[in-house]
């Protein structure tokens, strides 16, 4: 066994591999190639900033998973993965950013060398890290059928283990400290980049629990903090402008520990908020309360959404789109697990220890209001909020 310090026990990695192979069998997939770095890390422990080049994990009919990636990153796999070195394969740097050849040619060879070249191969076609050219080249270099296996591994990650929950609680503790720092520093005249620098500093400094101190990790999404009319848009980041009085800024951030996320959004208004924003706060808070009450094992993701939207409809507030998604282990550019959604049409049954970002934000014509919670589905009763930050529109004069 390689001498590697792993974030989870080897037994837990083996349990995950069994779950994936069971899902493969049900889907009629004999060999699986996963390129999503979150799925790679969850299945093998691999952790590196190398997802800008072609890489992945191969799961065959038997044996350990195989790390496949750039030669220099194979050394990183030897330092972070639980597998034997014989199951870590690096390809030549000649394939990197090359027009006359492609790394997927080497992947086809790697699969063929193990005798799997005529087996049904599953790939993550709807994925940030798997390009159209990659699929075209792989298709020419694999003799068997290639099937879409998007989400196959993601769905196995939905119910969190005890260790995963410990990591998410640490992330939640970090995000509590991040919001406390934001409120303390928030003032007119403060440049946004200065505030973001403190958000990062607080997040990376980490926190403490009953096992001792721990550091933070980089989140999969950068801090989002639009102000005033800019807050009518959901995904703006920051610049070096100064914060102005009589404006609201929402903060969409996440604490992160070992790549496990606890997103939490709050909004701060500098000065007296307008009456329509205060009324919206009341509606959103009522809707969040009802949504959390509906977030119970045995109910569905759609039940959470319907409970929230029923409150909005009662008060005449219009909103479209989903209002949450599952979270856990993630790498850029997204901290969601990309499986179920908290939307009325989603009939996925909730199970204990599923974790969600309940994200019922409002983006109006001239302002935005984000008040969200990270939830854990409990064995019995409504969902648990992992972070403890007062649920309200914050006002700072």
CA dihedral over 266, 171, 124, 70, signed as positive or negative: positive
CATH code of the domain in which 31 resides: 3.40.350.10
pLDDT value at 31 more than 90: yes
- pLDDT-derived band at 1 (thresholds 50, 70, 90) equals low
Domain count, the chain: 2
Q: How many residues does the chain have?
A: 397
For residues 124 and 168, membership in a common domain is answered with no
pLDDT tens-digit readout, 319-371: 989 999 999 999 999 999 999 999 999 999 999 999 999 999 999 999 999 99
238 closest CA partner among 249, 115, 29, 289 = 249
For residues 259 and 212, membership in a common domain is answered with yes
For residues 253 and 228, membership in a common domain is answered with yes
The alpha-carbon radius of gyration of the chain (Å, integer) is 22
For residues 342 and 213, membership in a common domain is answered with yes
- pLDDT-derived band at 288 (thresholds 50, 70, 90) equals very high
CATH code of the domain in which 342 resides: 3.90.230.10
Dihedral pair phi/psi, residue 103, rounded to 5°:
-60, -25
- pLDDT-derived band at 238 (thresholds 50, 70, 90) equals very high
- Please answer whether residues 258 and 161 qualify as being in contact, where contact means their C-beta atoms are separated by less than 8 angstroms: no
What is 197-236 written as a DSSP string? Answer: HHHHHHHHH-EEETTEEE-----SS--B--BGGGGGSSS-
126 closest CA partner among 39, 61, 214 = 39
pLDDT of res. 3? 82
CA atoms within 13 A on the CB side of 364: 16
- pLDDT-derived band at 299 (thresholds 50, 70, 90) equals very high
* Last residue within a domain, chosen from 108, 140, 156: 156
pLDDT tens-digit readout, 190-236: 999 999 999 999 999 999 999 999 999 999 999 999 999 999 999 99
pLDDT value at 133 more than 70: yes
pLDDT tens-digit readout, 36-91: 999 999 999 999 999 999 999 999 999 999 999 999 999 999 999 999 999 999 99
For residues 174 and 281, membership in a common domain is answered with yes
In this structure, is residue 1 part of a structural domain? no
Residues 6 or more apart whose Cβ sits within 8 Å of residue 71: 90, 91, 92, 93
In this structure, is residue 2 part of a structural domain? no
141 closest CA partner among 103, 174, 177 = 103
DSSP code, position 349 = B
For residues 184 and 114, membership in a common domain is answered with no
pLDDT value at 137 more than 70: yes
- Please answer whether residues 300 and 343 qualify as being in contact, where contact means their C-beta atoms are separated by less than 8 angstroms: no
CA distance 63 to 86: 11
Please tell me whether the overall predicted TM-score, pTM, comes out greater than 0.75 for this model: yes
63 closest CA partner among 42, 32, 41 = 32
For residues 133 and 189, membership in a common domain is answered with no
pLDDT value at 2 more than 80: no
- Domain holding 269, by residue range, is 162-396
């Amino acid at each position: 066994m390689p001498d590697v310090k792993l974030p989870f026990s080897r037994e837990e990695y083996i349990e995950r591999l069994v779950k994936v192979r069971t899902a493969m069998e049900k889907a009629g997939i004999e060999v699986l190639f996963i390129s999503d770095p979150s799925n790679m890390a969850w299945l093998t422990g691999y952790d590196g900033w190398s997802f800008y080049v072609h890489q992945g994990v191969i799961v065959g009919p038997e044996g350990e998973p195989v790390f496949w990636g750039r030669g220099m990153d194979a050394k990183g796999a030897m330092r972070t993965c639980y597998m034997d070195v014989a199951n870590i394969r690096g390809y030549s740097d000649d394939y990197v950013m090359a027009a006359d050849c492609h790394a997927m040619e080497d992947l086809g060879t790697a699969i063929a060398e193990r005798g799997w070249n005529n087996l049904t191969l599953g790939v993550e076609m709807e994925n940030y890290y798997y390009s159209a050219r990659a699929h075209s080249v792989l298709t020419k270099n694999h003799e068997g059928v290639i099937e879409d296996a998007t989400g196959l591994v993601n769905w196995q990650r939905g119910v969190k283990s005890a260790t995963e929950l410990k990591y998410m609680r640490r992330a939640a503790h970090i995000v509590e400290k991040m919001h406390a720092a934001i409120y303390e520093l928030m003032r007119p005249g403060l440049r946004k980049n200065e505030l973001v620098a403190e958000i990062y500093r607080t997040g990376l400094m980490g926190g403490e629990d009953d096992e001792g101190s721990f550091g933070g990790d980089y989140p999969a999404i950068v801090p989002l903090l639009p102000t005033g009319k800019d807050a009518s848009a959901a995904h703006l980041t920051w610049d070096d402008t100064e914060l102005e009085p009589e404006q609201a800024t929402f903060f969409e951030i996440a604490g992160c520990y070992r790549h496990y996320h606890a997103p939490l959004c709050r909004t701060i208004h500098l000065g007296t908020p307008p009456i329509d924003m205060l009324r919206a706060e009341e509606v959103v808070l009522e809707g969040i309360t009802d949504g959390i009450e509906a977030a119970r094992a045995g109910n569905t993701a759609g039940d959470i959404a319907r409970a929230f939207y029923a409150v909005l409809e009662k008060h005449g507030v219009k909103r479209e789109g989903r209002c949450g998604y599952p979270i856990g282990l993630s790498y850029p550019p997204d901290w969601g697990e990309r499986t179920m959604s908290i939307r009325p049409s989603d009939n996925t049954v909730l199970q204990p220890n599923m974790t969600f970002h309940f994200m019922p934000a409002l983006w109006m014509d001239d302002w935005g209001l984000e008040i969200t919670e990270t939830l854990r589905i409990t064995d019995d009763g409504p969902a648990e909020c992992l972070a403890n930050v007062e649920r309200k529109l914050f006002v700072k004069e």
